[in-house]
Amino acid sequence: MHMPTNRTISGLLALVIICAPLVIAPLRFKQSATFVREIENRKPNRFPKVKSARDLIDAAWWASVSGAIEDRAPFREQAVTLQHIIRKPINDTSRSEDVAAGKDNWLFLRTSLTSDFVKPELVESSFDIVEQIMAYPERSAEIYFLAPPDKASLYPEQLSRDSFAEYEPSIPMRAALHEWFAKPNQPERIGLFQPMLDAKAHSEVPIYGAQSSHCTSVASMVIAREMISSVDPELWDESFVETRERGTRVPELARVAGLLHYRETRVEAFVLRPGVNCVALTRNGKPVKKKITDHTIGKFVGYNDLHSRSESAKLEMIPGKTLVIHDSFITWYLMPTLSQFYEDIRFVHFRLLTDEILLEAMTSYDRIYFESVERLFSARIQKHFKGIVDD
């Protein structure tokens, strides 16, 4: 029996409609998982394993299943974006507890406008502690201190009236910190405020992105240059610095504020010193077994205890053991760069720093860099050094 053509077409359309979700769903699952990693800045929840029949009646086990499904649900990006639109006007970032609005769509991390700088005594006390650390009788390592300026310190002109009102009380404390670092004949103080102002004036790439909380990779090269020059001013060579575009992304402050339609072009600055090879790399005490290349170390950035040893037959390296105590301003860009200049360099994030690590480095390493973003510098000096000088 011959089936009419219109029924055949209708049947095919129905089949396509029925099967389309089955074909599209895996792609949407993957897109949603990618959205969680790149936009929400976290790993998707994993599906839990069934270890026993008891798991199937465990509420916590089913909650884990639910979390894994939610992170992979089709159209998650659209749902999250709609949630932000409903929760608050999309342009009204002043309602965010974490993000402050600036001019021309600029965003600022709210805590960076205030934080510990409202305590003048904390800033002055941190200066005294540094003086005592430099006079510590058992210290054998050279210690260098550096504090990358906050975004508001470099771009106060981009603050809105309300945001500037939050920032203004901290100006005297910031000025005191900048002056302390700029004082001459103090080699342990690596001042970054003026070098970054100079870079702001001459660089085509901003020192901070309009909706980012961290300085750009181009600005991080300023940090690297000043750190290396503290030991050997002749070692840094601008010709080794290259830049490349790495696509677009939603900046982190835009993510936090729910402004997911914002995009920035990622410009990555990096150093490639030809002939420098990483010969050993450990992460949190365990050897990295995969083949090590110039950029291998860049794959392990994060809240780690990362230890790199490098060598070169042609280029001069900074000898001895170096410890870099750091926050995210070094985490994301500078590990691959600095590892190409120092023979033996260890990066310990503040989250993993212990009294034992610090004391061992002070008495057995050749040098220590203590890097903290401007707004937290004084508090971190207090936290990690006060107990040493008081003993």
Per-residue model confidence (pLDDT) at position 89: 43
Give me 373's structure tokens.
């973003």
**Helix, coil or strand: residue 56:** helix
H helix intervals, the chain:
5-38, 59-72, 76-87, 110-113, 120-134, 151-154, 161-167, 171-182, 193-202, 217-229, 252-257, 328-331, 334-338, 355-364, 374-390
End-to-end CA distance of the chain: 98
Q: What is each CA distance from 356 to 142, 309, 359, in whole angstroms?
A: 18, 22, 5
Among residues 146, 206, 130, 200, the alpha carbon closest in space to that of 178 is found at 146
pLDDT digits (tens, 9 = 90+) for 375-388: 999 999 999 998 88
> How far apart are alpha carbons 77 and 83 in whole angstroms?
10
Pairing mode of beta strands 318-326, 107-109: unpaired
Per-residue model confidence (pLDDT) at position 70: 66
Query: Is there a contact between 325 and 370 (Cβ–Cβ < 8 Å)?
Result: yes
The list of the chain residues with pLDDT below 50 reads 1-3, 13, 15-16, 20, 22-25, 38-41, 82-94, 296
Give me 354's structure tokens.
């212990």
Residue 150 has phi, psi (to 5 degrees) of: -65, 160
pLDDT digits (tens, 9 = 90+) for 247-293: 888 888 888 888 888 888 888 888 888 888 888 888 888 888 665 55
C-alpha angle 280/281/286, rounded to 5°? 120
User: pTM of the predicted model, to two decimals?
Assistant: 0.77
Per-residue model confidence (pLDDT) at position 35: 53
Helices 59-72 and 5-38 cross at an angle (nearest 10°) of: 110
Beta bridge partners of 276: 312
68 half-sphere exposure, CB direction, 13 A CA radius: 10
What is residue 49's DSSP assignment?
P
Helix (H) or strand (E) holding 101: strand 99-101
Among residues 194, 195, 208, 214, the alpha carbon closest in space to that of 158 is found at 208
